Amino acid sequence: MSKIEIKNFNLFYSDFQALKNINISIEDKRITAMIGPSGCGKSTLLRSLNRINDTIDGVRVEGEINIDGENIYAEKIDIDILRRNVGMVFQRPNPFPISVRDNIAFGLLVNRIASKKSVIDEIVMQSLASVLLWDDIKDKLKKSALSLTLEQQQRLCIARVIAVRPKIILLDEPCSSLDPVSTQKIEELMIKLKEQYTIVIVTHNMQQAARVSDDTAFMLLGELIEFDKTSKIFTNPSQKETDDYVSGRFG
């Protein structure tokens, strides 16, 4: 069943067209990777899924992005609810400069999901446990989140997203600042999380896309060149441009 349905979607930065007639159907509880060279539009498309691009002057869109059958670009859409349902984790960990506990509690309070201390504490524990971080930092909840390792900070950012009960998690090159061991741990976490969430990841790392994703979209110059099962994209792609890219002949 499709969780995200992108139909004839175009995006413009003033006069520049960054996305050109994108059509993709993303299924629930799978990991979809977006790959392609720098500037191909993959991060722009990812950010279109929770309308973060709206914050950029001159952005204009055409077409539809439907989540659970509802067009997120319709006038009646509540952007705050959309961004709670479609959480995002960025390239570099960006924990707030407050305690570990308060990082998780922040979204709960702002979104009025919980206010009672005992309830918040339970959600903090559950969220940190879901990213396999609770045992490591349960005695550091009052310490600054900035005191954690980069990998722990990135896990914390994922836990912060999970705490507000999203439907979809967007990951924009979440391992780009991590070492290989930490990257492996985040990849293992992604595979675990897809049991509960639909995950869309942008990555420049071909090996990472091949390891963690179920489906892969290859983009080039703002166009979707090919979208298929990851195993097919990396072993028997339909388009020459895809074959050239995944084989390393360009990009």
What are the tens digits of pLDDT across the range 139-197? 999 999 999 999 999 999 999 999 999 999 999 998 888 889 889 999 999 999 999 99
Give 226's strand partners: 218
Give 12's strand partners: 17, 60
What domains, with CATH codes, occur in the chain? 2-94+166-246 (3.40.50.300)
State the pLDDT at residue 48. 97
Give strand ranges (E) for the chain.
2-13, 16-27, 31-35, 59-67, 70-71, 86-89, 168-172, 198-202, 215-220, 223-229
What token pair was written down for 68? 């659970």
State the pLDDT at residue 177. 82
Going by the DSSP 8-state scheme, the letter that residue 223 receives in this structure is E
- pLDDT of 1 above 80: no
pLDDT tens digit sequence for 84-108? 999 999 988 999 999 999 999 999 9
pLDDT tens digit sequence for 18-54? 999 999 999 999 999 999 999 899 999 999 999 999 9
CA–CA distances in Å: residue 26 to residues 61, 99, 126, 200, 213: 20, 36, 27, 9, 12
pLDDT tens digit sequence for 185-234? 999 999 999 999 999 999 999 999 999 999 999 999 999 999 999 999 99
State the pLDDT at residue 248. 83
State the pLDDT at residue 251. 59
- Mean pLDDT over 97-120 rounds to 92
